[in-house]
Amino acid sequence: MSFKLTCAALLVASSAIAAPAQAEDIFDILAREAAMDQAEPPAFVPYRHTVDVIVSGSKGDTIHAPLAAKLRIDPSQPPGERVVILEQTEDARGEMEKALREMIEEIEDEDRTPAAQAQSFWCNPGGALPTPEDFAVVAETETTARLRPTPERMVSLFMQTGDRELDSKERSMAKKLVDRLEGELVYDKPSGKIASASFHITRPMTVLLIAKIKQMKLEQGCTIAPNGHPYVSNFSMNVDVKALGKEITNNMAITVSELEPISQPAPG
């Protein structure tokens, strides 16, 4: 083979290698996905599921023993009957037991409608479809795209306020967060579905006059449910606060698994 033919062959091969699937714009993928039938997840949770939760923390010099629990949740049941505790750390008490009880009380709340349950179950960023105007592409491969929202959109995603108008307290919080919050969303390109999200504050912020949030980090991972929509399969929150002269830390890790189909709850 001549030198000229060898070079031509290399050029053809290199051009084929240099045109991977990532050439398709992530925003075009998301727009196509949004235009499909049943693009939005149902406004209820159609699965009974298991939640493994670990909570830990400290207050001043007191370190709270971690509490681990396994819950079975049936969203179709009436308030007071949705949660069954399958396992729990023995002799759980104090702040960690209180944190678990508050979590259960929120699930059992009679005002927690099917739509409210769905909002925390599905991996749904909320608000308008991501566009180049409010998201920047941080990195992209053939299979994933990492997107960083504009500060305003990031606050909206973090506070889960969507496109609705904020009340005075929410506006005050949003004003504090807008120049302190960083985060990104990761999308799976073949499916056009969100894969994960993470947020953290870059510097402390004062809340309620007597407390300062020194560090805060939230992460969530998404898994495709049997109906084709991504749900929150794992979530973690780490918060470090200074209040009344004491350092307070709160950590929570949640894993959701063992999805079992159930019927749509009857209208309330």
**With bands split at pLDDT 50, 70 and 90, how would you rate the model's confidence at 92?**
low
**With bands split at pLDDT 50, 70 and 90, how would you rate the model's confidence at 23?**
low
Rounded Cα distance between 134 and 172, Å, is: 22
Residue 42 pLDDT > 70, yes or no? yes
pLDDT digits (tens, 9 = 90+) for 109-144: 999 999 989 989 999 777 778 999 999 999 999 999
Rounded Cα distance between 234 and 220, Å, is: 6
The one-letter amino acid code at 23 reads A
Residue 120 lies in a domain: yes
Residue 29 lies in a domain: no
Number of domains in the chain: 1
**Closest among 160, 155, 170, 151 to 127, alpha carbons compared:** 160
**Closest among 44, 48, 159, 47 to 113, alpha carbons compared:** 44
SS3 218: strand
143: its two tokens: 């299979």
Rounded Cα distance between 171 and 49, Å, is: 35
Residue 226 lies in a domain: yes
**With bands split at pLDDT 50, 70 and 90, how would you rate the model's confidence at 40?**
confident
Residue 36 lies in a domain: no
Residue 15 lies in a domain: no
What's the distance, Cα to Cα, between the start and end of the chain in Å?
Answer: 78
Look at the alpha carbons of 50, 228, 161, 82 in this order and tell me if their dihedral is positive or negative: negative
Query: Which residue stretches of the chain are H helix?
Result: 3-17, 26-35, 94-108, 114-121, 151-159, 168-177
Burial of 142 (0-12, 13-18, 19+ CB in 10 A): exposed
Which residue carries 């699930």 as its tokens? 107
b/e 158-168 (16+ beta carbons within 10 angstroms → b): beebeeeeeee
Residue 4 lies in a domain: no
What element of type H or E holds 142? Answer: none
Residue 37 pLDDT > 80, yes or no? no
**Cβ atoms of residues 67 and 251 within 8 Å:** no
Q: How many of the other CB atoms lie within 10 Å of CB of 64? A: 20
Residue 17 lies in a domain: no
43: its two tokens: 């406004």
What pLDDT does residue 15 have? 37
pLDDT digits (tens, 9 = 90+) for 215-259: 999 999 999 999 999 999 999 999 999 988 899 999 999 999 999
Residue 18 pLDDT > 50, yes or no? no
Q: How distant is the alpha carbon of residue 161 from its chain centre?
A: 14
Residue 190 lies in a domain: yes
- Residue 109's domain spans which residues? 44-260
